[in-house]
Structure 1
Amino acid sequence: MSGTLQDRAMGAIMGAFVGEALGVGPHWYYDLKDLRRTFGGWIDDYTTPEPGRFHHGLKAGQNAQAGFILELMLRSLIERNGYDENDFCQRLDRELFPLLDGQPRSGPGHYTSESIRHAWHRRVVQNRPWHEIGGAADTTEAMERTLAIAVRHATEPALMSQAIANNTALTQSSETMLSMGVGYGCILARLVQGDILDERISQQPMNWIAEGALSFEPVTTRQPAPDHPELPLRARRHIVRDALHAASDIAAMARDPDVCIEPAWKVSHLYGMPCAFYHQLPTAYYLAARFHDDFEQAVLHAINGGGQNQSRAMLAGALVGAQVGLAGIPLRLLNGLERADELRQLACALSSQIPD
């Protein structure tokens, strides 16, 4: 475990960028025999996509669209000294949407996810306001950008939780998605503050719930949450308890000697290889708990599990990066990441703004 909050925060951000870039070449191979034929028995570094595959045109070490959007979020958080929804939306309008055409294989990274395509269509083609954009996608795109909110506001649970919920709702309006995104953010925030991903990881977030420290009522109730005037309260009810318990339960199983998943990448087959959050999050939690002190093993097992391995490695990379800190991410992975110095400067700037 890294000794400083700043190092852990930088580890979370850079861990996400590294994990996302590792997935550029081997993204979305559901036939693992095909994956092994193309990249060998074990992927251990950045790779270039094969012709005709997703992200074709990128090179090894480059980030795809999730990394592009994460960087937009980082720059907004840094320049506005915290989450500013209007600023972030303006950046999407100016810097992302003009690069899209509504088709899957378009835009930064040469692939645009369903939730972002849906948002582009409603915003650009239909000219709707941002509060009418969110759709029903059950994938993890919002978590891949709001992880930066969790890091920046790690010591401010009320602000963090509502900012994550509001930002998620921009593109994904499901209450379940909001709850799971807030749950992931709470877990990541605790890791940035120095906790380990084990069976106790949900204790402090559960205390936040009991103390009313979150900016909404996160239990099954018909009573509306109290207003927090400093933030737009778009979603008033979230069931976060189960999301938090799940992280603790999965972390406990990852450390239980009576539970054996070997090799560890097969956990993606246990929970499922597809894109939905209910496949992605359990696998990311498992790998980040099992390899809590070994960043490389966590992200490489995420990648070698196939399927939607890019998101899996990005989410796990943030969780493990927060536990090992920037100093615990192998230099070869940092050096192989394109624009690593620039991204590291952004991570440093963000971490320096986190209140004690």
Structure 2
Amino acid sequence: MPPICRTPEKAMKHDKIQDRAAGALMGAWIGDGLGLGPHWYYDLKELRRDYGDWITDYTDPKPDRYHGGMKAGQLSQSGIILELMVRSLTVRGGYDQEDFCRRMDEELFPQLNGEPPHGPGGYTSQSIREAWRRRVEQGLPWGETAGHADTTEALERALAIGIRYALDPGAMADAVSRNTALTQSDETVAAMTVAFCAALGLVVKGSKFNRVISGKLMKLVKDGVLPFHAVTRDNLKPPRPGDPDPPRAGRFSSPDALLSPGYMATAAEDPDIRIEPAWKVSLVYGMPCAIYHMLPAAYYLAARFPDDFESAVLHAVNGGGQNQIRAMLTGTLVGAQVGLSGIPARFIDGLEKGEELKGLAQKLAGQATGEAD
């Protein structure tokens, strides 16, 4: 195959997309690792007692906590499943559901027993436990394994699909929808998962994460690319008499999940709306694990610190509660904005297998721009 010839401008754009894609994936792993020690402290006084006034780095979990026995810089099960997804994507050259499910069957499920404090990463989340029970104990086929959890387990792995298909949002939406349905049956959770990945893809491609990002997402709906149905016209204007019903691109009845990023970014940009210090975003949008608590906080922090990866992830971690996923989702959005080159080296150096994960991130980034090895 002859080499691809690019103008200097196109080569620079290509390199920037790869840098942002790799930064997005490393940002997720870094956020996961940072949250491992101080995970799930809902009493902030207890969090400060155990970890001081400001967490700045990877920390050991306390022996009696959720990830007791693990060490600073290791990944939780969320980060491990994300790695499993990335290895599937990079080996297969794209999303292959059969291959992903095989890896879950062979690499993860034999290490689980259905109990929360068990398995790689020190803790197994609800939807993964439910999928394990249906698949292993009941012998059900994939496709009959989803549960009703309103949490982010699907998004924690599907964000890699959002990165891989950043330049093809239609393929992204299809792959993310199918992967989400393996563990989450709630349509609202699925819509919010696809919406996050669509926003992430735009940022990887080069869009700013600001108040206009939702307008760009809605244009993809109007163009029939994203699987959401919208009755309103541009800028949410009402339909006019005689207007035909817009074509339905897919399964989601409302595009509201696509509007959330723009509203959160507007709040972060508005000088009259201040959350100070920014870690208190957890108190504004909620500390629990549900996706409707996690996404607004991650969107806000991503817009608040678009050029400052360290501040974004540390404010996510220091807010307590489900800080691991808040940091993971914030890390991927801000990592996409600053790129791999904008992430402080100490966060990669401090991760167990940091260089190996960096290599995986760069490989997926290459595939995202059509340059798979």
Do they superpose with TM above 0.5? yes
For the residue of structure 1 that corresponds to 2:364, the secondary structure is helix
Native 8 Å contact 2:167 2:368 kept in 1: yes
Whether 2:78 is the aligned partner of 1:66: answer: yes
| Cα distance in 1, alignment partners of residues 184 and 276 from structure 2 | 35
The one-letter code matched in structure 1 to 2:367 is Q
Gaps of 5+ in 1: 227-235
Deviation at 1:54, TM superposition (A): 0.7
| Cα distance in 2, alignment partners of residues 123 and 248 from structure 1 | 38
The one-letter code matched in structure 2 to 1:162 is D
Native 8 Å contact 1:302 1:316 kept in 2: yes
The one-letter code matched in structure 2 to 1:298 is A
Gaps of 5+ in 2: 1-12, 233-244
Native 8 Å contact 1:48 1:58 kept in 2: yes
The one-letter code matched in structure 1 to 2:189 is M
| Cα distance in 2, alignment partners of residues 5 and 223 from structure 1 | 32
Hey, what does 2:367 align to over in structure 1?
353
- Out of 147, 153, 170, which is 1:158 matched to? 170
Hey, what does 1:229 align to over in structure 2?
none
TM-score, normalised with respect to structure 2: 0.90
Hey, what does 2:237 align to over in structure 1?
none
Native 8 Å contact 1:261 1:267 kept in 2: yes
Native 8 Å contact 2:230 2:246 kept in 1: no
Hey, what does 1:204 align to over in structure 2?
216
**Which digits, 9 at most, give the CA deviation of each residue in 1:53-100, with x for residues without a partner?**
011111001101001000000000001111011100000000000000
Hey, what does 2:92 align to over in structure 1?
80
Q: Assess, with a 3 A threshold, how the Cα gap between structure 1 residues 131 and 225 changes in structure 2: closer, same or farther.
A: farther
- Out of 330, 333, 343, which is 2:347 matched to? 333
- Out of 246, 261, 274, which is 2:288 matched to? 274
Whether 2:21 is the aligned partner of 1:37: answer: no
Whether 2:103 is the aligned partner of 1:91: answer: yes
| Cα distance in 2, alignment partners of residues 280 and 189 from structure 1 | 18
Hey, what does 1:231 align to over in structure 2?
none
Hey, what does 2:317 align to over in structure 1?
303
Whether 2:281 is the aligned partner of 1:264: answer: no
TM-score, normalised with respect to structure 1: 0.94
- Out of 16, 22, 26, which is 1:10 matched to? 22
Between stretches 198-207 and 238-247, larger displacement belongs to 238-247
For the residue of structure 2 that corresponds to 1:93, the secondary structure is helix
* Identical pairs, percent: 57
Between stretches 95-104 and 204-213, larger displacement belongs to 204-213
The one-letter code matched in structure 2 to 1:301 is H
| Cα distance in 1, alignment partners of residues 290 and 254 from structure 2 | 18
Whether 2:301 is the aligned partner of 1:323: answer: no
Native 8 Å contact 1:254 1:289 kept in 2: yes
Deviation at 1:240, TM superposition (A): 5.4
| Cα distance in 2, alignment partners of residues 111 and 162 from structure 1 | 29
RMSD (Å), alpha carbons: 1.7
Tell me which structure has the larger Cα radius of gyration.
2
Q: Structure 1 stretches (4+) deviating beyond 3 angstroms?
A: 216-226
**Which digits, 9 at most, give the CA deviation of each residue in 1:311-336, with x for residues without a partner?**
00000000000000001111111111
Deviation at 1:217, TM superposition (A): 4.5
Q: Assess, with a 3 A threshold, how the Cα gap between structure 1 residues 347 and 150 changes in structure 2: closer, same or farther.
A: same
| Cα distance in 1, alignment partners of residues 248 and 146 from structure 2 | 22
Hey, what does 1:195 align to over in structure 2?
207
Whether 2:182 is the aligned partner of 1:170: answer: yes
| Cα distance in 2, alignment partners of residues 131 and 337 from structure 1 | 34
Structural mapping, 1:101-250, within 5 Å: 101-214=113-226, 216-219=227-230, 236-239=250-253, 241-250=255-264
The one-letter code matched in structure 2 to 1:6 is Q
Q: Assess, with a 3 A threshold, how the Cα gap between structure 1 residues 259 and 154 changes in structure 2: closer, same or farther.
A: same
Deviation at 1:246, TM superposition (A): 1.0
How many aligned positions are there?
345
